[in-house]
Amino acid sequence: MKKLIFISLIFAICFFTACGGSKKINDEDVIPDSDEDTDSETDGDSAEPADTGDTEPDGDTGDTVPPAPDPVCGDKTVNGNEVCDGSNITCAQLGIGNNGTIPCKSDCSGWESAVTRCQNKNAQCEEIPDPNGTRETETITQTWSNSGWIPSTRATHADELTSNSCAWICKENYTWDSDLNKCVSEGGETLPDEEPAQDEDTAPATDEDEEPSTDEDSTPATDTDPEPVCGNNITEPGEFCDGNSISCVEKELGNAGSVPCKADCSGREPAAGYCQKTGVACAEIPDPLGVRNTDTIVQTWDGEQWLPLIDGNYNEAPAANTCDWKCKENHVWDEGESKCIPAQNTVPCTGLIANAKWNSVEEVIQTWNEENQAWEPAVDPVAAFNYEASATECRFICKDDENGSFMWDPASGTCIPRVVKTICTGQTRCTNGAWMESCPAAAEDYFGQDAQHTDTCVPINLTFKNNDPETHLVTDANTGLEWYNVLKHSDDPENPALLTVSYDEAVQYCAGLTYDNDPSRPWRLPAIKDLLTISNLNYAEPAVDNTFFPEIPSGNPVIWSNTPRICTLEKEADCNNNHIWILGAKNAQTAFRDSGSGTAYALCVRGDEYNHTQIPEPYTIGEDTVVLDRATNLIWNIKRKSSLMWIDALAYCENMEYAGFTDWRLPNRNELISLISFDRYFPASDMPFNISQTETAAFYSWTNSIRSVTGSDIWVPALNRGYVGYINYDKESNGAFFTICVR
């Protein structure tokens, strides 16, 4: 009998202490799924029962209690360290709801999980925060999940109701206003008798992640159970935990962190914010030009998911512990394309000198080249002079506009005033086929003639030495030449007649001239371009100013030059290498004569030949090409136009807008002569006018100069042969006549 009483006492103590007394659960599982001793969180004070004093009589000393048998799981008897054996425990006993039971584990080490087994029947829904709301039920049945009771008892507005939900909708004739967070009448206004809706923020809320509170009344108690003391770090009967934590690894929720006990010892705090995953690899960046601060992050459980997410988003300033990413260095985000693109860098140009302007940008935009790992184009910010415009290099050109015309001087590296060096023709009148009383106005037919552009050339500047005509010495300030204005006469003092002589005689006459002798500047026969400089188109027959050259006769006098005419039999059947250029003084026209058989007047000059060799400098402005001739400082548009009548050629150049300039005009006779190189042939010019070496047709170019005899002839120098002739103003244009503009 004593043995039976002792065994019963041991079983009772085990049941109310270690074997299924009132227990709390963690926030995921009611009973841990591990095989660990479920009593690990109690204070351990249930080791041995107290001596009840009920002992055997004194005389019976040999009757002792046999040792307890080894536990056998499955015999439906709780022995040894078994928590249970084939039995069930109610959810109410464990303080998890009011309905349902939990079976013993198959190894008798504890109870199975409470998830889906335990319920709260008739759980009271929160009060609807809006007096104009309604729901189908005020109580629901909740089921325990890993993280709390579902569905929630919270009163939340919904679009439709379900039978087991605390959600609510607006009453009939009311509608939900999401801005006001309340039900309003279907007319959009709150009815006068409506109560103001309770702010949802003030509604009582429950933490669905929290452990359910233990119903102390459900804990079996004995007269000997002490009252639990929360905060003494001892888990006593009636407490789930006291001051201790459980690792998140043990909860199978991440690999770092721990969940503390609640302040009232009724359960664990929600895992949200406590449990973490460390070393989580971020997903691949969707943009190859993206970069992160880190490739691994620490995630924290928020009750529903692990945050931050591993995908990440584009973020111009990503936080350190996120998978957010930004564009690589030297790349920027393109909002429209939603991707990273190479960045651009602005390099301001420097070094613009006086009287210059940018050609064509004052800053260069660089783009980052990811492959070469460099900004391209490479830029020297210090600008250099360059005729060709560029958007990728710092360049400048000299100013050339209505405020002044400047040109580049390589010797000094500066922009100097552009002074045109061609000599004016002397033309003062205009024609429309006959001499006009006054020149036409701008935009009228025939506007743009030589007489209307006298500001674009150097005026003729002849003077007598010491201003004394008797010296017979004429100085040209433009060319530096000095002329002896006396022609070759006969040696007969009685009859010093004016003579025409052979070429050799003319050469000998000038070479032997001792008048006003200066050994450093001997007299010579003039070159053809020397002779052309004394022509004056304001006169005719002869086309020179007789004030300075009184001995040149009227009629059709011709004057020898010392310039041979070059030709080939391939181009001309009557080519003769003995031909010498002459000036037809009647009209200032060029021609040639045989040096052996021909005769002409001899006029002597001294000084360097005025035979400028072209110094062409082609350059582009935008997509247009022009040529600067440094010999004259004229700028030419080499894009020739064919088959225009003279009246149309005038208008064509006057109205041209090319390479950014609008001051183009048809060139005068002397400007076109400056393009002729008399030592060349087909073409007789160094300018790049695309005159083919095989071109046999004449290449005449209209001028704005008029032959002064009739007023109906226009000068047309031939740039393929060097001939300076004229044709009638209304001659029908054909493929042999071209228009070239100048400024």
DSSP state for residue 662 in the 8-state scheme? -
pLDDT of residue 681: 85
Report, as an integer, the average pLDDT of 117-127.
90
Cα–Cα distance measured from residue 463 to residue 478, given in angstroms and rounded to the nearest whole number: 11
**pLDDT category of residue 493 using cuts at 50, 70 and 90:** confident
pLDDT of residue 159: 77
Render pLDDT for 55-109 as a digit per residue (tens, 0 to 9): 333 434 444 445 556 788 988 888 888 889 888 999 888 888 899 899 999 889 8
* Residue with token string 């705090």: 269
Q: What are 529's two structure tokens?
A: 């371009």
pLDDT of residue 116: 85
Report, as an integer, the average pLDDT of 361-376.
96
Count of alpha carbons within 13 Å of 660, Cβ hemisphere only?
A: 13
Render pLDDT for 583-621 as a digit per residue (tens, 0 to 9): 998 889 999 999 999 999 999 999 999 977 888 988 888
At 202, give phi and psi (nearest 5°). Answer: -90, -10
In this predicted structure, the answer to whether residue 22 has a pLDDT above a threshold of 70 is no
pTM value is 0.58
Pairing of strands 149-150, 706-707: unpaired
In this predicted structure, the answer to whether residue 508 has a pLDDT above a threshold of 90 is yes
Q: What are 112's two structure tokens?
A: 């199975």
pLDDT of residue 504: 97
pLDDT of residue 301: 96
Render pLDDT for 153-172 as a digit per residue (tens, 0 to 9): 888 888 778 778 888 899 98
Q: What are 174's two structure tokens?
A: 């009311």
pLDDT of residue 587: 85
Sign of CA dihedral 272, 274, 277, 281: positive
Q: Count the neighbouring beta carbons within 10 Å of the beta carbon of residue 351.
A: 13
Q: What are 65's two structure tokens?
A: 């209690």
Q: CATH 3.40.50: does it fit domain 461-606?
A: no
Render pLDDT for 669-702 as a digit per residue (tens, 0 to 9): 999 999 999 988 888 888 887 766 555 555 678 8
* Residue with token string 């070429």: 503
* Residue with token string 């988003």: 313
pLDDT of residue 571: 82
pLDDT of residue 694: 58
Render pLDDT for 244-255 as a digit per residue (tens, 0 to 9): 999 999 989 999
**pLDDT category of residue 289 using cuts at 50, 70 and 90:** very high
pLDDT of residue 211: 43
pLDDT of residue 693: 58
Lowest mean pLDDT segment, chosen from 37-46, 76-85, 252-261 = 37-46
pLDDT of residue 379: 96
Range among 110-124, 509-523, 678-692, 716-730 with highest mean pLDDT value? 509-523
Mean pLDDT rounded to a whole number for the chain = 83
Render pLDDT for 167-178 as a digit per residue (tens, 0 to 9): 889 998 898 887
Q: Give the 3-state secondary structure of residue 452.
A: helix
pLDDT of residue 199: 41
Q: What angle do CA 205, 208, 209 make, to 5 degrees?
A: 130
Q: Give the 3-state secondary structure of residue 215.
A: coil
Report, as an integer, the average pLDDT of 221-241.
77
**pLDDT category of residue 429 using cuts at 50, 70 and 90:** very high
Q: What are 571's two structure tokens?
A: 């181009």
**pLDDT category of residue 424 using cuts at 50, 70 and 90:** very high
Give the whole-number percent of the chain exceeding pLDDT 70. 83
Sign of CA dihedral 649, 652, 656, 659: negative
Q: Are the C-beta atoms of residues 639 and 599 closer than 8 Å to each other?
A: no
Report, as an integer, the average pLDDT of 513-521.
95
In this predicted structure, the answer to whether residue 32 has a pLDDT above a threshold of 60 is no
pLDDT of residue 193: 42
pLDDT of residue 77: 86
pLDDT of residue 81: 83
Give the whole-number percent of the chain exceeding pLDDT 90. 55
Sign of CA dihedral 356, 360, 362, 366: negative
pLDDT of residue 646: 93
Render pLDDT for 473-491 as a digit per residue (tens, 0 to 9): 999 999 999 999 999 999 8
Domain residues of the chain, as ranges?
A: 276-341, 358-417, 461-606, 613-742
pLDDT of residue 388: 83
Cα–Cα distance measured from residue 223 to residue 248, given in angstroms and rounded to the nearest whole number: 37
Which is nearest to 560 in space by CA: 601, 594, 605, 607? 601
Helix (H) or strand (E) holding 528: helix 528-533
- CA dihedral 715→718→722→727, nearest 10 degrees, is -40
In this predicted structure, the answer to whether residue 226 has a pLDDT above a threshold of 70 is no
**pLDDT category of residue 221 using cuts at 50, 70 and 90:** very low
Report, as an integer, the average pLDDT of 500-527.
96
Q: Are the C-beta atoms of residues 534 and 476 closer than 8 Å to each other?
A: yes
Burial (CB count <10 Å: 0-12, 13-18, 19+), residue 290? buried
My answer on whether omega of the bond before 360 falls inside 30° of 0, hence cis, is yes
In this predicted structure, the answer to whether residue 23 has a pLDDT above a threshold of 90 is no
Task: Name the more confident of 128 and 227.
Answer: 128
pLDDT of residue 229: 92
In this predicted structure, the answer to whether residue 37 has a pLDDT above a threshold of 50 is no
Q: Give the 3-state secondary structure of residue 669.
A: helix
pLDDT of residue 187: 67
Cα–Cα distance measured from residue 516 to residue 369, given in angstroms and rounded to the nearest whole number: 75
Cα–Cα distance measured from residue 214 to residue 265, given in angstroms and rounded to the nearest whole number: 10
Q: Are the C-beta atoms of residues 699 and 736 closer than 8 Å to each other?
A: yes
Cα–Cα distance measured from residue 26 to residue 241, given in angstroms and rounded to the nearest whole number: 10
Which residues, including other chains, have CB under 8 Å from residue 191's CB and lie 6 or more apart? Answer: 185
Distance from chain centroid for Cα 639: 36
